[in-house]
Amino acid sequence: MSNPYVTISASDGSIIKRFRVIAEGYDNGTPEKTVSIQKTVGGGMDISQGGIYRSWNPTIRMRGEELDTAYGTMSDLETFFAYNNPNTTVSDKLIFTDHDSIGHTVVLLGDMRKTLLGAYTTGTEAHYLARVRMQEITGT
């Protein structure tokens, strides 16, 4: 049975938060194939193929402040986004657990697009949407 939330956890387990994901645009991991194509001097093609990785681009809905501490806030998501060093105790590698309770080692990439829903900017009445990009990391 699916969960009504996804979970993001710090690499050392110090922060584990649930997040609500809106259905629009959600998928269970878009496969991305690593391919390099170069034209050769002789007119042919040199094709190198690498691994296939999954990425997620969910839109997360959260409050400015949560009554249920198991759920993450905008501040929690920004904390995860700020991890940028792969060699520290809390590294940039996160554990993303999808709706089906399957864990994936990921890093957050690109921009975190935030939108405020309504007039409140803080507290339990403040609601935000944030779009993030997570790229699966294998072999770690």
59-106 pLDDT tens trace: 999 999 999 999 999 999 999 999 998 888 899 999 999 999 999 999
Looking at residue 140, its pLDDT comes to 44
DSSP letter at 71 equals B
Answer for the pair 40, 46: CB distance below 8 angstroms, yes or no.
yes
DSSP letter at 58 equals P
- Residue boundaries of the structural domains of the chain: 6-136
pLDDT tier at 1, thresholds 50, 70, 90: low
Indicate if the pLDDT at residue 123 is higher than 50: yes
Tens of pLDDT, residue by residue over 21-41, are 997 767 778 888 888 999 999
Looking at residue 39, its pLDDT comes to 93
Q: Please, which residues have CB within 8 angstroms of residue 7's CB and are 6 or more apart in sequence? A: 16, 17, 18, 19, 95, 96, 97
CATH 2.40.30 for the 6-136 domain, yes or no: yes
How far apart are alpha carbons 48 and 1 in whole angstroms? 40
What is the overall mean pLDDT for the chain? Answer: 91
